Structure 1
């Protein structure tokens, strides 16, 4: 690709959830097809595969930069480790959103939980996360974003400088055909839950944020429809700063007895993201997958 290629961060969420997600991440890093990995630190396979992830993500690629940023996927909605999460139990997303907007969450409890998950990341990874985002975008919710801001303010004194994923929707421009307008509505709703407020909090801390979040769809697509969505996301992405999230898992890899409600979609995404047609889309759209940390400097 030419030096004028648009730079895009492609982020796999949920590393550590189970072995299938981890295997997909390692395969996609080897192919150079992703540039960010977001980690669930209470997931069953986070600590066992962290060293393999570090070797793959921090390897220097063809453009003289490491393959991927690795970040903390802040979780308040999945019960992944009941003992570790006992002091601040997870809630279903709808209940968490309602409690956050009614300001019924305990601020001190939220701060302790954000700090615990950050510290768990550092304990296993050996360094601060390159970025922060949220499982089901919870990091932008009222009260949660305030707790995150308070914890980050403390971490900045120790030299941490993560970027933060903003959930601002790209609008209708990212919707390739009318049949996918429902995706755009869902993306707008996600962004409306706190994207602008989170950005203001991070600006006050002097921390960078991503520009737009793409990759929203209802986990009901087949390979053809998913590729068509990617065509729109790639063609409409900004020259710098956007993030496309994805959720692949390698087919046939054990999920360690866990229930993955979007398991079939994860395996479909893996097939698309490792396929030749997806690689051709990148070339035709003049997009280069690159870590956002380099783009934001």
Structure 2
């Protein structure tokens, strides 16, 4: 019955950053994942004060599809499945992103996951775990496993198929802690009522899950430029409003919210 509520995409935009910080301050999130290749990262990182870090784990949202060294997601997936990605370039990007995280925050990430779950793709997952083991052998970050439940539908099954079990197995062999079920998968449709209903369903799933589940979310506050190049911006606004509402306590009153597996 343990649950990590994790907001993705910190540093993607000021509107996302503001929502994530507010939700951490209000006790609605226990983890936040950072996109360190974003042009906003240097300024965004300053929002992650000691007080914020006391309330939530801060992780690296490994990115190969949006900022910096990147591919279209479909191309990245196909190349990884064919094992045709340039291994040296992948390693250099991972090292660079970890360096960017450390420079800005003065510490290693508490955990690692991936934007569009790229951290569990073939080639990327092997290189990632090897780099993390070498750099942080004294204190390994935990790994978010993108293994949605069967209730997550077709999208969830696709995410799970693209390396979840392999990443879990390899992380366990190397001594990493890792999460179990991934909740929060949907098509970003609907209104606030729909998202509240989904949250109630995910809370029920968390209570039935073995181990520590992660509920990922993608909140944002309203802003002048929040919608630019962000196709899920309306869904982000709905998520923030529901997570920051009085309904939160009722939805998660029987779940133990934690920061790590």
C-alpha separation between the residues in 2 aligned to 1:215 and 1:253?
Answer: 27
Matched, 1:9 2:1: no
Q: CA deviation at 1:240?
A: 4.1
Matched, 1:226 2:195: yes
Matched, 1:202 2:171: yes
C-alpha separation between the residues in 2 aligned to 1:153 and 1:240?
Answer: 23
C-alpha separation between the residues in 2 aligned to 1:229 and 1:204?
Answer: 34
User: Paired residue for 1:179?
Assistant: none
Q: Check the 8 A contact 2:9/2:34 in 1, yes or no.
A: yes
Matched, 1:188 2:157: yes
Aligned pair partner of 1:242 in 213, 219, 231: 213
Aligned pair partner of 1:93 in 66, 73, 92: 73
Q: Could you state the TM-score of these two structures normalised by the residue count of structure 1?
A: 0.83
Q: Check the 8 A contact 1:166/1:209 in 2, yes or no.
A: yes
C-alpha separation between the residues in 2 aligned to 1:20 and 1:279?
Answer: 24
SS at match of 1:37: strand
* CA deviation map 1:9-60 (0-9, x unaligned): 000000000100100011101110000000000123222132322334223x
* CA deviation map 1:75-128 (0-9, x unaligned): 0001x3xxxx3xxx3111111111111111111111111111111101111000
Matched, 1:267 2:237: yes
User: Paired residue for 1:280?
Assistant: 250
Query: Where do residues 60-75 of structure 1 align in structure 2 (5 Å cutoff)?
Result: 67-75=55-63
* CA deviation map 1:249-294 (0-9, x unaligned): 0113544x942121111111111111112332112xx0132211xx
Aligned pair partner of 1:142 in 92, 100, 122: 122
Aligned pair partner of 2:222 in 235, 245, 251: 251
C-alpha separation between the residues in 2 aligned to 1:233 and 1:216?
Answer: 9
Q: 1:234 to 1:253 in 2, by over 3 A?
A: farther
Q: CA deviation at 1:192?
A: 0.9
User: Paired residue for 1:64?
Assistant: none
The alignment of Structure 1 onto Structure 2 pairs a total of residues equal to 259
* CA deviation map 1:122-171 (0-9, x unaligned): 111100000000000000001111111221121134x2310000011222
Mark the structure with the bigger radius of gyration: 1
* CA deviation map 1:191-217 (0-9, x unaligned): 111001111221121011101100000
SS at match of 1:52: coil
